[in-house]
Amino acid sequence: MNELKKLAWQCRRGTKELDAILQNYLQTQYLQADANEQQQFLALLQLEDDELIELLVNSSKLVNPFIDLLPKLRSFVF
């Protein structure tokens, strides 16, 4: 299984909203991202769903170590 397929599988989460946000980023931004941003995304995928929802939808704060990545992911929030 190649890396993108593994990541696509990891982007499948407990809610449609998270699935859409993470998969949209993977499909449209991940390959063009620099190595630092890609590492942030990989680390973000290790978080639990409730933490992801808080970071992406509910929180207006930019939290390290995801400070560069969160605005891009939030652009996919419906």
Mark 16-30 as b/e (b = at least 16 C-beta within 10 Å).
ebbeebbbebbeebb
Question: Could you report the per-residue pLDDT of 33-63, keeping only the tens digit for each?
Answer: 999 999 999 999 999 999 888 888 776 666 6
Domain locations in the chain as residue ranges: 3-74
Q: What percentage of the chain reaches a pLDDT higher than 70?
A: 91
Indicate the SS3 state at residue 62: coil
Domain 3-74 sits in which CATH superfamily? Flavinator of succinate dehydrogenase (1.10.150.250)
The reported pLDDT for the residue numbered 34 is 94
Burial (Cβ within 10 Å: 0-12, 13-18, ≥19) of residue 65: exposed
Asked if residues 63 and 74 have their Cβ atoms less than 8 Å apart, the reply is no
The reported pLDDT for the residue numbered 68 is 82
Indicate the pTM of the whole model: 0.85
pLDDT, average across residues 8-37:
93
The reported pLDDT for the residue numbered 57 is 75
